[in-house]
Structures are given as C-alpha cells and as structure tokens.
Amino acid sequence: MKAIVALQPGNADALELRDIEEHQVQEGEVKIRVKAFGLNKAESYYRSGNYGTFVANQALGIEAAGEIVEDPSGEFKFGQKVVTAMGGMMFTRHGSYAEYVTVQRDNVVAIESQLSFEALAALPELYLTAWGALDGNLKIEAGQTLLIRGATSALGMAALTYAKARGLTVLATTRQTSSVDRLKALGAEHVFIDDGEVAKQVRELYPDGVDNALEIVGAATVTDTMQAIRLWGQVVVVGLLGGAPVLSSFNLMGDLPNTVKLSFFASGLLGSDALPLHESPINWIAEQVESGTMPSIVSKVFNFDEIQAAHRLLDSNTALGKIVVKV
C-alpha cells in the first residue's frame, strides 16, 4: 500500500510517500480504507523525533475517516463509513497516513451522516478530545460559562463550536487581534487578547469568575487561568502550546485558588473502558456540521502527495483551523 513515512526524524521534508507492506487484521482489530485524515501536532512532534519512540518507515497519523474493508467480528460491515482515532496508530502500529490502516475495533465509530470524508476527517481526534475534557472532566451543562485559553488552536476551535452547540457561553483567548473575528464567527461571546493576565479581563465581565476553563496553552498560563474561575469551578489542561508541562515554585495556597479544581485530560484514554467511543457524541457532531448548525473548522484540504506542504502549514501555526489530507 501507499503510505507516508519518515526514514529519520526531521522537518516536513523528511516525509516520503512510499510503498510499504499492508498489515493483516489481528484479533480485536478492523481494517479501514482511508479516505481522508486530519493533521495533528502530535504527528509533527513525532516526525521531529520529539514524541515517543521514532520508528523509521512507519506510517504517521492518529486519526482517519474511511470505509470498513474487514472486520472478523462482524460488528462492522464491508463499506461502512467510519472514523477512528488513537488505538495505537503511529506508536505501536502503522498510522493513518496510508491507503489502509488496521486499528483496534474499540477505537472505531460507525458514522450515519452524509458528511464528506474530508469534513469527517476533521472531527475524531479534536472533537473526541473536547468531549473527554468537557464532558468527562468538567461535566459541562447548558447555561454555564467556559473560558478557552488558546482558542485559535484547532482543538480550541473544536471545543468552542462544541461548547456553543451545547448551550454554553464561551469566552476565548488569542494573542493576535487578527483572530478575533474568526473566533466570534465560530460562536465566542467574548474574545480576549492574551497578554498573560487574562484573569483580570475575565473578572471585569464576570466579577465572581467563570464556571470552568479549558487550558490549551498549558503551564505558561494555567496559574492565571485558575484565577479566572469562580468558587467550586474547574480547569482542565488539554494542551501544551506554551512549552514544557512544568510549573516552577507552585504555591498550593497562593496559586491554587480556594475550592478550584485542576485536572488533566489526554486523548490516550479514547476507546478505553474508561472512555468508550460508543458513548461519544461524534455522530451528533457530524449531523450538526452537516446541517450547518455547527460551523466546520476545516482550514485547508491537501492531496495525499502534498503531505510536505501540509506539514509546513501545520508547523507554521497559521492554519486557523483543521488541516485535512484526502487519500
């Protein structure tokens, strides 16, 4: 099969389109004909040799949209439209940058929407991560206020559109004034220019603080984010855009506000017993995007042989949305 691999760590130029051996389906797995896949920062870090153990000639990619080719269990039917995320892709097996991928059955969800494969490919990793953090950690409810720190990231945009569709009032941050209109178009009620002290700006609008926050920047801003939260509110960290996940001289009494809860969510739980994907709202999300109720966050679609250009855009951090590649 055709697949995109790197023979050694490097920049986008290290990616090559090669012929590799197609894997056979093992017990508990299904094989998918990949129609499109989304790009994620995890793949850029892996390609650079900075995430996990780099394996030469192993296809990259942690999510895909496509059709079932084989499922020995009979749970999925031949030709059935599906999406998949995680399930060991790129780390313990070939990833989704390929014509075919085998993946754990528990990490595959059948899709009923008529949404195109390119549009579907933007959903699994981002929206399932948003679901895990917002519903699993924060237990969001309609009518609540949510602060998203780092909202111009693809994950931030997904969380923004999902929370808005769920009936929350969303406050978003960005470092660029040029991104304000984009975030408001996606549904943000208020957009703050992040100068490192967003909490003061938030409390000018909400003196008692907001209900919850999704922290995507990470250690660089989480202490300030916690100061924007009301009593008994929560912050969940889902990203590390601001650098290493280390807090120096963290003061439990001074930096952690009274009653405010801090937690972390990583998408590695997706498909596990703790977070079964059949309970996820991914079909509802696809329906919302198909109907136009929830805006698409696809930024640009590339062809399979344009993977180097796609990764250059990913590395530039200027996409303002999800980058998708069609196979």
**pLDDT tens readout for residues 43-57:** 999 999 999 899 999
Residue 236 near residue 137 (C-beta atoms within 8 A): yes
What token pair was written down for 325? Answer: 């590649």
pLDDT at residue 242 in the model: 74
Q: What is the pLDDT of residues 217-259, one digit of tens each?
A: 999 999 999 999 999 999 999 988 877 788 888 888 888 999 9
Cα 53 from Cα 236, distance rounded (Å)? 27
pLDDT at residue 251 in the model: 84
pLDDT at residue 246 in the model: 80
CB neighbour list of residue 218: distance below 8 Å, 6 or more residues apart = 237, 239, 240, 241, 242, 243, 245
| Residue 204 burial (10 A CB sphere; 0-12, 13-18, 19+) | exposed
Q: What is the pLDDT of residues 76-122, one digit of tens each?
A: 999 999 999 999 999 999 999 999 999 999 999 999 999 999 999 99
pLDDT at residue 111 in the model: 98
Residue 61 near residue 89 (C-beta atoms within 8 A): yes
pLDDT at residue 145 in the model: 98
**Unique residue bearing structure tokens 């929370």:** 163
Mean pLDDT in the chain? 96
The mean pLDDT of 304-321, rounded to a whole number, is 96
Other beta carbons within 10 angstroms of residue 265's beta carbon come to 21
pLDDT at residue 247 in the model: 82
pLDDT at residue 253 in the model: 81
pLDDT at residue 29 in the model: 96
Quickly state the pLDDT bin for 139 (edges 50, 70, 90).
very high
DSSP-derived letter for residue 268 is: G
Cα 15 from Cα 90, distance rounded (Å)? 14
pLDDT at residue 254 in the model: 83
The mean pLDDT of 170-196, rounded to a whole number, is 96
pLDDT at residue 149 in the model: 98
